[in-house]
Amino acid sequence: MGEGFSVKLVGEYVDIGIFTALGIMSFIALWFTIERIIFYTKLDFNLYEDPEKLDLDLTKNLTSLYIIYSNAPYVGLLGTVLGVMVTFYDMSTSTTGLDAKAITLGLSLALKATAFGLLVAIPTLMVYNALLRKVDVLSEQFRLLTKKKA
């Protein structure tokens, strides 16, 4: 019940843990994206007198998107490393010898975690950059409106 048990335990739960973490990250990214789009659509400049207050409201939740897109690949990579470790352990303890099909299957299953991490990160990066651009445009529109009023 020593090392073999812990490696088997990791092997059984690595996919569940990694995919749950990445699923939660993608849900949060989607939630904040929708929230930001709705906020920007309904934005009323008349509610703001201070440009700093507007900028605070415009950039709300963008840090969370940044954290998700920058860390999702690492979460996926962690799943891949753990999956490869389990595959190598299984290879070393195999009593039937090395089976190329089992090895390639184990490695390909491990790589799916990295793919899913990138699948979460790339769209989140695109959305983050688009929302940053929208913040710049809205801030400039507010600046021009307050300039005309003065």
Q: How confident is the model at residue 1 (pLDDT cuts 50, 70, 90)?
A: very low
Place of tokens 């950039």: 59
- The model carries a pTM of 0.85
pLDDT in tens, 60-80: 999 999 999 999 999 999 999
Indicate if the pLDDT at residue 149 is higher than 90. no
* Nearest Cα to Cα of residue 72 among 16, 13, 113: 113
Query: Residue 122: its pLDDT value, please?
Result: 98
The predicted structure's pLDDT at residue 13: 83
pLDDT digits (tens, 9 = 90+) for 79-107: 999 888 888 887 777 777 667 777 787 78
At 7-46, the pLDDT tens digits run: 666 777 888 899 999 999 999 999 999 999 999 999 999 9
79, 113 in Cβ contact below 8 A?
yes
d(CA 26, CA 21): 9
Contact 78, 15 (CB under 8 A): no
The pLDDT assigned to 62 comes to 97
For the chain, the structural domain boundaries read 3-149
Inter-CA distances, 118 with 48, 76, 113, 123, 141, Å: 38, 7, 9, 9, 34
